[in-house]
Amino acid sequence: VKEETGALMEELKRVNAENKKLTEMLSVVCENYNTLRGHLM
Amino acid sequence: YSSWLDSVDTSLDLNLHPLRFTGEAPVTKERNYLDHEKVSVKEETGALMEELKRVSAENKKLTEMLTVVCENYNTLRGHLVDQMNKNGEKEVFCSKKRKSESSNNNNMVGINGNSESSSTDEESYKKPKQETINKSSKTTRVQVKIGASDSNLVVKDGYQWRKYGQKVTRDNPCPRAYFKCSFAPTCPVKKKVQRSVEDQSILVATYEGEHNHPQSSLMEATSGTAAARCVGLTPAAPTTPLDSRKPKSPSEAKTTSSPRFQSPEMQQFLVEQMASSLTKDPNFTAALAAAISGKIFPH
């Protein structure tokens, strides 16, 4: 059980890191999108 | 001895189930602890699983959003690139057009060296073949009184001119006409004629350069023009009655004899016009010939 929990913890850490990275990427892309939209408007 | 023996308790006081009670208690506690630990680990694992599921779902959602936003971004970027290309083409076209106009305007405006943004007519796009104007050459300015209704931008000054352009400048709503001496390209003189901003009945002629040939006024017929009207000597072919050009009152007469008509250029111009007109008058020529022959042959 402990091993399973440890594995889960590791997986959760990895997914959280990926989540954070995705959030940052989404923020950057949204910012660029808005900038581009501002240029077109 | 026997009493001592009696007093001795020989019973062992043995508990037949001592191990059962003493042995069972720690095992239950351990089991309870293990069970509790198992439960807590299972709960923790369940929580972790739930958290993992939630984060994974969020991750998936973020990935989808990122994909959508990236697609929109690329689409928008494509639009922007297209727009920029279109604008670039327009810009290039406009800049070429501006360059062309600027080139023509510079050729025309080169008389005074000023560049003016203005609209040009069709003639102004015809680039003069030779532009040999020296900007440091002599520039003279002449003002001529004309009728208010006269739309001709012609100032007769004893030379023949060829109009090569006309445009409307920003500072003056009246069009400005550009002329070259008809002896061009050997003669570098150009002139521009435009109504005065202050007084629309005055034509302002600006000359650039000096003629390298004699006047052609004696050869050409002077028709009714602004200069002739200004001088008042239009025996050849006046286009409008002289009455309409005469000052209506003494005050206006004073106005027409303003200092701008007393400039050396204007006086010379007037003399030339008078000479030109007189030479075209057959009566005057006959009288002059008679006078000369009378002097030579008095008898």
Report ipTM for this prediction. Answer: 0.89
Interface with A, mutate which of B45, B70, B72 (most A CBs under 10 A): B45
* Residue in B44, B55, B69 closest to A15 by CB: B55
Measure the CA–CA gap between B63 and A18, rounded to whole angstroms: 10
Is the CB of residue A16 less than 8 Å away from at least one CB of chain B?
yes
The residue type at B47: A
Does A30 contact chain B (CB < 8 Å)? yes
Q: How far is CA A31 from the centre of its chain?
A: 15
More confident residue, A5 or B259: A5
CB-CB neighbours of A2 under 10 Å: 10
pLDDT below 50 — which residues of chain B?
1, 5, 21, 23, 103-136, 218-258
Is A28 part of the contact surface with chain B (CB cutoff 8 Å)? no
What is the pLDDT of chain A when averaged over all its residues?
85
Which is it for strands B119-120 and B172-181: parallel, antiparallel or unpaired?
A: unpaired
Mean of per-residue pLDDT scores for chain B: 66
Nearest CA in chain B to A23: B62
Which residues of chain A make contact with B45, given a CB cutoff of 8 A?
1, 4-5, 8
Burial of A7-31, coded b for 16+ CB within 10 Å and e otherwise, reads ebeeebeebeeebeebeebbeebee
Strand order across the B190-195 sheet? B119-120, B161-169, B172-181, B190-195, B202-208, B139-145
Compute the radius of gyration of chain A from its Cα atoms: 18
pLDDT at B263 (0 to 100): 64
DSSP state of B244: G
Contact B55 A19 (CB under 8 A): yes
Q: Does A19 touch chain B (CB under 8 A)?
A: yes
pLDDT given for residue B148 in this prediction: 66
Token pair of A26 as six digits: 């989404």
Interchain CB contact of A22 with B (< 8 Å): yes
Q: Which residue has the higher pLDDT, B259 or A10?
A: A10
